[in-house]
Chain A
Amino acid sequence: MIETAIVVAIIRILFVCIIITAAYIISTRNLLSVVSVYALQSLTLVCIALALYSLEGSIVLLAIAVVTFISKVIIIPYFIATIQEKIRIKRDIEFHYLNPTTSLLISMALMLVIYMALARIVQGTPARENLFFFGAVLGISLMLMGMMVTFSRKRAITKVLGFLSMENGVLLFGMFVTELPFIIEFLIIIDLIILVILTTILSVGIDSTLEDYHKRLHRFHLLEESEEVS
């Protein structure tokens, strides 16, 4: 068995990784790397689950790690990569309400606010472990940062990634604070996969002619005139 202090330290490092990936998802304009960063974020979550498993030994955590790995590291990124290949969009440069710099600044402020709010909430209760408290703060922050992505990006595909990142936040929160029943976790993941498949169908179309296909791409902000040529 690995020593607890080392595991805790590893988890903290992983937390930092999650923050970095989240910040990258918010700020990057390169669409291809967003997907890989999402996969990386999910992988970090898998690692956190495994580390927690080594601390607590709960079998559910192991199961979560496995399911997350299969779905979020392999299947969902694979689907999205397929879409991207088909629609040939490389960059996402249109924003609503917030541009990346502002988003980053706001997310920093958000983390601070959530930290302070949660600190006040748990004040009276018997002091929780520092690690779990951080996990909760990070979970909520990740969720809100994902939400920021969903409303500040114009492209449907990035919105979906933002949503997926939100779900990662919920998973993180669940792992550290509430102990979601495994079945619910599993169902959420199935939902996510269905969502991604639906996105694929909607944005690419399974029954459309070429003209219709382009029209749909325009409708979902998946394609621009200039990019169509290249």
Chain B
Amino acid sequence: MIVELFVLAIIILFAGTIFPLIAASLDRRSVRTISLSCTIVASILLGSLSLMVLLSGESVFFSLYQSLPAFSLSFVIDRLASFFLLIIAVVSACVALYFTEYIEHIDGQSRRNLLCSCTSLFILAMVLVVASANTLSFFLFWELMAASSFFLVMYEYSQYDTRKAGIFYFIMTQLSSLFVLLGIIVLYVMTGSFSFLPLTTASAPLVTVAFLALFVGFSIKAGIIPFHKWLPYAHPASPSPISALMSGVMLKIAVYGLVRFLLDVFTPDLWWGVLILAAGTASAVLGIIYALKEHDVKGMLAYSSIENIGIIFTGIGLSVIFTASNLPLLATLSLLGALFHSLNHAMFKSLLFLTAGSVVSATHTRNIEYMGGLAPRMPVTSALFFVGAVSIAALPPLNGFASEFLIFISFFSSVSVVDPLFKVLLFFCLALFALTSALSAACFVKAFGSIFLALPRSPESAAAHEVPRAMLIGPGILAATCILLGVCALQIFAIVGLTVPLPDMLLVSLLLLGMAVLTYAMLYFIASREVRVSETWGCGTFSQQASAEYSGHGFSEPLDIIFSAIYRTRTINERTFFDQKNCIFKGGTGEIRLLKVFEEYLYRPIAQQSLSVAKVVSRFQNGCLDTYLLYVFVTVIALIIFLGWFA
């Protein structure tokens, strides 16, 4: 049953990939709708089959195609895989639903068919990565996922920014693939097989190499600092639903890879956990600090993705630490927290990206300083964004709170059991983690306030209106999921047979709801009925102006000052003169720019080093016969010397 459903879903997704290619020259809405419908149907199938596996707890193994004796195209759907399949299914279905309408509002005529095709392929690749039963097919589909997502990022290739982002993304994603491949090859060298089997040799140096390679590979894909730089480029450059898919789902595939290898293959050492924890905490804190400073709405969401992936890695790191120090209960708890946060992040981040896409398509700008006043103009979108913002800010009773709470609990309960040195480390990470939560709340207060509240700060924003219904239903489902996952978290865990120390959020939310109703009723009966017409929050002035508003910059200014050590700025002065002696001033520009620390001190030096090495190497191949003869000559002499003295 499950096998048939899975194969059917794969076939439908494949059809959704092929069909727009066949009709590539037809610029018809129906072509795209059919393709996206295929994605929706396949997602529903995948969702139901993964729910079946999750609830029953049985693993399914099957082989589709045996090409070589050592390699078969086989799949396994166990609880872990089905959990991630569920994430893919829910997000893909909502994104595809949203896409049916969104795609008609973007440029590109019949090129949009290819966009549909690539989206299907991308989802297909992700599904196959998660379901892969051996490391080789894992890598093959991983690479397919990387390639298809590159084409998706490059959709608006005529723009310079997009090309730059695309190349950046391509290089980073290939680096990631390279490291993953290295890890897989090292594992193959050790075990002689491509299957996900536990290693017998515990802590050989090769095992460490394999772990580090896989960790770096997955970290690049997940956007862990310092490998994060592609996210703030690629997300703003690609169409919003694609950003939603990439941030919501693709980053989780990297998380899946790490968890899969940690659970099934390795017996982790303690320091691995410390490494993962440190990387996660650093990403979480720095990610949200950068997000605060970002005024491109999609860039901000990208940085916030880095933060959330950091939280997930924190959970995984904790779990590894607890496993290594023989605390299985806590290990399970923190891993559950990490996985639950993966699910939740997929929901609210794709919700936020989709609603941000609606806002961007309504206002034609990504800069939140030019938005404002959208709440009355786009009421449903703003309500949906609000749900996402509350979730991501981890406010009860929504889902972000539930999963972060799980990780907090494992932090708290660990402090009493591990040895003193670790206590210090864990306290430190806990403090940073708490700071992250607070800052992310601040960040989304700023985002929601600047985008939706107050008065419009640009004519486009003033002329914005609500998006079509299909662009509301997709995010609507996601918002409903966010609420459901938060409010019924305890019940959901109970259904899948897990007991977690969560408070009963259903009760809490009922109480909250009751309180709200009571308050409203009280106010309704007590307040005076006198009608007074004036502008809200006018503070006595008669007419409000957008320029007098509290801007996004203004909101984050106090935090900027607190974290000014992290936001390094660079002052640039350029002056031109009429004469050669620089006496008569002609004109000039002055700029205070945020220093891109990682880009300027890490990426660029590495890139320059590799470029100079490449230059030296390319000089060896200069097309001159004499040079090649010289190489032969030198080689022969080297051989003679080798024969005489070393052989």
Contacts and interface: CB of A to CB of B under 8 A. Distances in A.
Nearest to B629: A151
Interface in B620-635: 624-627, 629-630, 632-633
B636 A147 contact: yes
Contacts of B630: 97, 151
B613 interface: no
A44 interface: no
B636 to A, nearest CB: 7
Interface stretch (A23-31, A63-71, A109-117): A109-117
Contacts of A152: 626
A120 interface: yes
A26 to B, nearest CB: 13
A116 B645 CA distance: 9
Interface string A114-125: 101110110000
Given A117-B645, A120-B645, A140 B640 contact: yes
Given A144-B636, A147-B636, A148-B633, A113 B641 contact: yes
Nearest to A118: B644
A117 B644 contact: yes
B643 A117 contact: yes
B637 A121 contact: no
Q: Which of B624, B627, B629 has the most CB of A within 10 A?
A: B629
Contacts of B624: 96
B626 A110 contact: no
Contacts of B636: 144, 147
A112 to B, nearest CB: 11
B637 A144 contact: yes
A151 to B, nearest CB: 4
A151 B633 contact: yes
- Sorted nearest first, the 3 A-B pairs with minimum C-beta distance are A117-B644, A151-B629, A151-B626
Interface of A is mostly: helix
Interface of B: 624-627, 629-630, 632-633, 636-637, 640-641, 643-645
6 contacts: A97-B630, A117-B641, A117-B644, A118-B644, A121-B643, A144-B636
A150 interface: yes
Nearest to B639: A117
Contacts of B627: 151
Nearest to A156: B625
Contact of B626 (A97, A116, A118, A140): A97
Nearest to B636: A144
Given A96-B626, A120-B645, 10 more contacts: A113-B641, A117-B640, A117-B644, A121-B643, A147-B636, A151-B625, A151-B627, A151-B633, A152-B626, A154-B626
A113 B633 contact: no
Nearest to B633: A147
Given A114-B640, A118-B644, A121-B644, A144 B626 contact: no
Interface string A126-165: 0000000000000010001001101110100001000000
Contacts of A97: 626, 630
B629 A150 contact: yes
Contacts of B641: 113, 117
Contact of A144 (B633, B643, B644, B645): B633
Contacts of A117: 640-641, 643-645
Given A120-B645, A147-B633, A113 B626 contact: no
A108 B641 CA distance: 15
B632 A147 contact: yes
Interface string A81-109: 00000000000000011000000000000
A104 B107 CA distance: 70
Contacts of A154: 626
A151 B632 CA distance: 10
Contacts of A114: 640
B637 A116 contact: no
Contacts of B625: 151, 159
Contacts of A116: 644
A147 B629 contact: yes
A62 to B, nearest CB: 31
A63 B627 CA distance: 37
Contacts of A113: 637, 640-641, 644
A113 B642 CA distance: 11
Q: Which of B632, B633, B641 has the most CB of A within 10 A?
A: B633
Contacts of A118: 644
A94 B645 CA distance: 36
Nearest to B644: A117
A5 B624 CA distance: 49
B623 to A, nearest CB: 14
Nearest to A95: B626
A120 B630 CA distance: 26
A148 B632 CA distance: 10
B229 to A, nearest CB: 44
B643 A110 contact: no
A97 B633 CA distance: 12
B288 to A, nearest CB: 59
B629 A110 contact: no
Contacts of A120: 644-645
A150 B633 CA distance: 10
A118 B645 CA distance: 10
Nearest to A117: B644
Contacts of A121: 643-644
A118 B639 CA distance: 12
Contacts of A144: 633, 636-637
A118 B647 CA distance: 12
Contacts of B626: 96-97, 150-152, 154
Contacts of A147: 629, 632-633, 636
Contact of B637 (A110, A150, A151): A110
A146 B637 CA distance: 13
A116 B626 CA distance: 28
A151 B625 CA distance: 8
A117 to B, nearest CB: 3
Nearest to B632: A147
A152 B641 CA distance: 22
A116 B627 CA distance: 27
Contacts of B633: 144, 147-148, 151
Q: Which of A114, A117, A120, A140 has the most CB of B within 10 A?
A: A117
A230 to B, nearest CB: 27
A113 B630 CA distance: 18
A96 B625 CA distance: 11
A154 B629 CA distance: 12
A222 B640 CA distance: 34
A97 B627 CA distance: 9
Nearest to A123: B644
A124 to B, nearest CB: 12
A144 B638 CA distance: 12
Nearest to A120: B644
B632 to A, nearest CB: 7
A106 to B, nearest CB: 10
A166 to B, nearest CB: 10
Contacts of B644: 113, 116-118, 120-121
B105 to A, nearest CB: 60
A159 B629 CA distance: 11
B620 to A, nearest CB: 14
A157 to B, nearest CB: 14
B496 to A, nearest CB: 74
Contacts of B629: 147, 150-151
B254 to A, nearest CB: 51
A159 B626 CA distance: 9
